[in-house]
Structures are given as structure tokens and as C-alpha cells.
């Protein structure tokens, strides 16, 4: 499966560019509601907006917004989208590489009920993100890893999940692997 970037069609206002499918979006809403959320990889902020509107308690969004992955000012675009949807107060942006920021969050003993991983899709990055996420998950928490079945562009994501999570994901929605360790 290959996910194309497209303007969202399920938000009540101006579309946000995303590769998240409608099925994945519905799953994110369900998993984030009432939870403290860690989002690894934010791009234009679509997932953060969706989860905030669904009733996430608070979202910590980690992305380097460096322009090396995405062209242009993704930080500015994300901030503008959070303002447009009036969810800025529910999202704390931590600008930086997840391999640096996540160990800082772990050192601060941050805990999350739901963690969405959609950051570095290379093997070392995906493994580091999953490993760090497992260390910050609340006992009854859930992790979702995006692009799990995107074999053409992100084959390392599936390998990292299957290597680090005993038994693999609990279930998959499109390319969203949902893990309840």
C-alpha cells in the first residue's frame, strides 16, 4: 500500500495536508480521547488537530520541522493549523529530532496513555522511536505506528515493529499498526 499526501476531507474547516487515511483518522480519534498523547512526527499538524478535537487531554508533538523531510516552514504551518482549529492550548510542540527529544522526555519521567509514531521511517529512527515510546507508555496505554504496511516507501517501519514488539501489532487499520503491550 502507498499513501499519497492529500488535503484532509474530514475536518470542519480548512483542509490540512496529510497522508493519514479516513480509517486511520477515525482510529486516532478513538485512541486519543481522554488521554495524554505523545505524537512523534507532526508535519503540518493534521493528526494533532484530529486528536485534540477528539478530546485528547493534552498532546506533546515532537518534530524537528527542519525542512530536511518536508520543504517549507512546517512549524509555521502546524502552528497556523492549531490556531485555525482553536486547539493550540491542547498541543505543546517540542521542536527537535526525536532521537534527542524522547530521551529528554523519558529522563523527565513523562508518561502517556497514547503514543502515535509517524516520524523517522528509517530502521534506526523507527527502532529508537518505538523503544523510547515503550518506556513512556502508561500501564494501560496504546501505541500506534503509522506507515506499517507501506512497503514501497517505508519497509523498515514494519521490520522495527515486528522486531521490538512481541507478537507484532494487535491490529492494523490501513497502515496504522495498533499495539497494546
pLDDT tens for each residue of 93-105: 999 999 999 999 9
pTM above 0.85, yes or no: yes
Q: Where are the domains of the chain?
A: 6-179
Q: How does pLDDT run across 35-56, given as a tens digit for each residue? A: 999 999 999 999 999 999 999 9
- With a pLDDT cut of 90, the percent of the chain lying above it is 64
Helix (H) or strand (E) holding 58: strand 58-63
72 falls in which pLDDT band (50, 70, 90)? Answer: low
Cα–Cα distance measured from residue 136 to residue 134, given in angstroms and rounded to the nearest whole number: 6
**End-to-end CA separation in angstroms for the chain:** 25
C-alpha cell at 152: 514501497
Query: 123-134 and 155-164 helices cross at what angle (nearest 10)?
Result: 40
CB 150 within 8 A of CB 19: no
| Annotation: CATH topology of 6-179 | Rossmann fold (3.40.50)
Amino acid at each position: 500500500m502507498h499513501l499519497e499526501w492529500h488535503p484532509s476531507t474530514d475536518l470542519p474547516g480548512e483542509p490540512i495536508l496529510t497522508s493519514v487515511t479516513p480509517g486511520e483518522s477515525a482510529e486516532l480519534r478513538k485512541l486519543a480521547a481522554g488521554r495524554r498523547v505523545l505524537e512523534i512526527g507532526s508535519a503540518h499538524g493534521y493528526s494533532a488537530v484530529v486528536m485534540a478535537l477528539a478530546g485528547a487531554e493534552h498532546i506533546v508533538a515532537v518534530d524537528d520541522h527542519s525542512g530536511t523531510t518536508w520543504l517549507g516552514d512546517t512549524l509555521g504551518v502546524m502552528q497556523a493549523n492549531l490556531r485555525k482549529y482553536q486547539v493550540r492550548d491542547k498541543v505543546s510542540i517540542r521542536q527537535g529530532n526525536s532521537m534527542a527529544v524522547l530521551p529528554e522526555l523519558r529522563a523527565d519521567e513523562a508518561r502517556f496513555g497514547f503514543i502515535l509514531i509517524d516520524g523517522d521511517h528509517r530502521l534506526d529512527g523507527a527502532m529508537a522511536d518505538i523503544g523510547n515510546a515503550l518506556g513512556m507508555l502508561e500501564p494501560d496505554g496504546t501505541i500506534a505506528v503509522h506507515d506499517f504496511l507501506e512497503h514501497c516507501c517505508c519497509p523498515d517501519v514494519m521490520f522495527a515493529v515486528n522486531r521490538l514488539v512481541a507478537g507484532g501489532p494487535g491490529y492494523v487499520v490501513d497502515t496504522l499498526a495498533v499495539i497494546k503491550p
